[in-house]
Amino acid sequence: MASQRYRIVVAGRLSERLGSAFRDVTLERRRGVTVLRGEGQAHLDSVLARLGNLGIEPLEVEQND
């Protein structure tokens, strides 16, 4: 069984410094947003917790097979 992939969109472009807190995910900085991509439910929970600890609210969270 393959691990689930996820995509999280947050407002703004995460700085290099903030982005370093998410080295285990792929960051894509776009105009006005940053997209974080990774795999695994436990990993998703960890990333969401880190975002919350930094006071960053996700705009979107999607899980894909």
Report the predicted TM-score, pTM, of the whole model to 2 decimal places: 0.88
Q: Which residue has the higher pLDDT, 1 or 34?
A: 34
Residue 55's φ and ψ, nearest 5 degrees, are: 75, 25
What is the average pLDDT value for the chain, to the nearest integer? 92
CA 49-51-55 angle, 5° bins: 115
Instruction: Convert the pLDDT of each residue in 14-38 to its tens digit.
Output: 999 998 999 889 999 999 999 999 9
3-state secondary structure of 38: strand
Please answer whether residues 57 and 33 qualify as being in contact, where contact means their C-beta atoms are separated by less than 8 angstroms. Answer: no
pLDDT of residue 1 exceeding 70: no
Supply 12's token pair.
């703004």
What whole-number distance in Å separates Cα of residue 25 and Cα of residue 39? 8
